[in-house]
Chains A and B, each alone.
Chain A
Amino acid sequence: MTGNKIPVGPFHPLLEEAEYFELKVDGETVVDIDMEIGWMHRGHEYISEQKTFTQSIYLVERICGICSTSHPLACVHAIEDIDNIEIPLRARYIRTLVGELERVHSHLLWLGLAGHFIGYDTLWMWAWKYREPTLQMFEAISGNRNHYGMMRVGGVAKDVDPAIIPDLLKILDEIDRKMEMIAKAAKDDPVLKSRLVGVGVLKKEDAIAHCVVGPTARASGVAIDVRKDEPTDAYDLVNFNEIVLKNGDVYDKLVVRVLETIESNKIIRQCLEKLKTVGGPILNNVKEITPGEGIGRYEAPRGEVFHYIRSDGTNRPVRHKVRAPSYVNIPSFVASCKGIPVADVLITLAAVDPCYCCTERALRVVDAHDRPFELDLQRLSRTKTEQIRREIYGK
């Protein structure tokens, strides 16, 4: 089916972000993929150089809405790395608590959207319905649903009031129960399994070549996790296991995220228990930062967030480099999207859970002899699910 040239603008009704993909298609399989980004570019590094260290922590929080405590954590680690600043024990637990809670709410958000793309709106409604208690916990701890403003150089800004810990634990039990149900629904559903197994495989060598991070890498067998490799905050004081699977298809990426959410719940429980007993200050205020360079890393829900800060003794960073995990995960589409049917492209793009949600639903597809035609990924993706359901249930 070839159509005339279609100005597929980056705006699509249900799309959160503006993204623009271009696939070269030969019949049904994808031959080449090209991406044009830049709709989101707000020039963080430029602004950050005009702000003081504390101000740039607030700025850095607004890079990505759904992993909004990963960037401040990495930024604070970078500043502390310049002078090897130590932070009090209670602050370490609070930092880990907020970081893991955000991993739960980010993974549930992704699970809902993944269900939405392959035509399972009930999974979307469920996942987002059971994500609300997590946001309730955030409001109890930091007063805001997403941008928490918890991090400071040398500690944490707000303390977790021990009085509210019992009902935080109650909410956590409720989330655990629901998480088991969602995990069962997502993992053992035959249609979902046959729909996602073997789709958009990212082989281990490709993952290493493209320097991919986070669940995308762990699903392909590359065992990198900043929480285990360079345990800062309280990650060396809590015990949890790192989930690494082998065959790197979309199904494994889903299972990695679901198991990680369960692990995160365990970490949160341990942190809350410790916060009942561990007392002490939550911030040893740092007077001034000596000239030097610092690298800060944190395991965001999508992968390793990297911050590099260079200071020259004043209270403003001279250079502040930020690298979000999706920056390296997205180019890996070239490897994982080649040779797969067009219907699977959308779920493969979404499986990386791109941080600025570039889950483009319509895109310009160019067929073998370069005639562009309009193709809607979402419809294809849903109908393929439908086709598989028909085979399985024989309806």
Chain B
Amino acid sequence: MGWYQRRLAKSLWVFHVSGSPCNNCDIEILDLLTPRYDVERFGIKLVGSVRHADVLLVTGVFNKKVAPRIRRIYEQAPKPIFVVAVGTCVSGGCCFKESYNTVPVREEVIPIDMYIPGCPPKPEAMIEAVAKLIGVLNG
């Protein structure tokens, strides 16, 4: 495992992309920053611009109006970038699959590396996912 991957694993900068969610996963992501589940211990920081991001936290089942913008956000991010899908909506479309206004396959819009199922996934589950992501990086 390269020395560089270990460095990347220890300092993941996160950017939050919300694609028409029910804003429960977004609140759980913000919960991670609050004192109880503070993720800055792992060197994870919420950054303001896509250019600084290492991890795109994507939430919500994309509806047709939001999908092209999420595509553009993904193209703007510097590689290597990881896309972590938070919640069942992104992972499997949850209960909104049959709707006329949602994109059937989300992997066409944005390639997803890691799925965190759960509606909403518990903050502990998200921290465990981050640990796995670090593990994957550490080889």
Also in contact, A129 and B63, with CB within 8 A (given A16-B26, A146-B120)? no
Determine whether B136 belongs to the interface, using a CB cutoff of 8 Å to chain A.
no
Query: Which of A18, A46, A109 has the largest count of B CB atoms less than 10 A from its CB?
Result: A18
Q: Could you tell me how many residues of chain B have their Cβ less than 8 Å away from some Cβ of chain A?
A: 41
Which of chain B's residues have a CB closer than 8 A to the CB of A68? 22, 24
Interface centre among B18, B31, B46, B65 (most CB of A within 10 A): B18
Knowing A13-B48, A128-B31, say if A145 contacts B120 (CB, 8 Å): yes
Complex CA gap A145/B99 in Å reads: 26
Residues of B within 8 A of A16 (CB): 16, 18, 23, 26-27, 30
Residues of B with C-beta under 8 A to A14: 16, 46, 48
Secondary structure dominating the interface of A:
loop
Cα separation A44 to B69 with both chains bound (whole Å):
22
| Complex CA distance for A15 and B95, rounded to whole angstroms | 24
* Contact of A13 with B49 in the complex, beta carbons under 8 Å: yes
List residues of B (48-73) whose CB comes within 8 Å of A's CBs.
48-49, 61, 63, 65-66, 69, 72-73
Give the contacting residue for A65; candidates B47, B61, B120; CB below 8 A. Answer: B120
Collect the chain A residues with CB atoms within 8 Å of residue B20's CB: 18, 39-42
Give chain B residues whose Cβ lies under 8 Å from the Cβ of A109: 27
The answer to whether the Cβ of B10 comes within 8 Å of any Cβ in the partner chain is no
In the complex, A245 Cα to B26 Cα: how many Å? 32
Tell me, yes or no, whether A47 is within 8 Å of chain B by CB.
yes
Whether B120 pairs with A129 at a CB distance below 8 angstroms is: no
Task: Give the distance in Å from the alpha carbon of A59 to the alpha carbon of B97 in the complex.
Answer: 11
Q: Is A290's CB within 8 Å of the partner chain B?
A: no
Interface flag for B41 (CB, 8 Å) = no
- Residues of A near B16 (CB, < 8 A) are 13-14, 16
Assembly CA distance A63 to B119 (angstroms)? 12
* Residue A147 interfacial (CB < 8 Å): yes
* Known pairs A16-B30, A41-B20, A147-B120; A65 contacts B101 (CB<8 A): no
Cβ distance B130 to chain A, nearest Cβ, rounded Å? 18
Q: What chain A residues lie within 8 Å of B139 (beta carbons)?
A: none
Contact check, B122 vs A65: say whether CB atoms are below 8 A apart: no
* Chain B interface residues toward A at CB < 8 A: 15-28, 30-31, 34-36, 46-49, 61, 63, 65-66, 69, 72-73, 94-96, 98-102, 119-120, 122
| Known A16-B26, A38-B65; 16 more pairs at CB < 8 Å | A9-B72, A13-B47, A14-B16, A15-B18, A18-B18, A18-B20, A40-B21, A41-B101, A42-B96, A44-B99, A58-B95, A65-B26, A68-B22, A129-B34, A147-B24, A147-B119
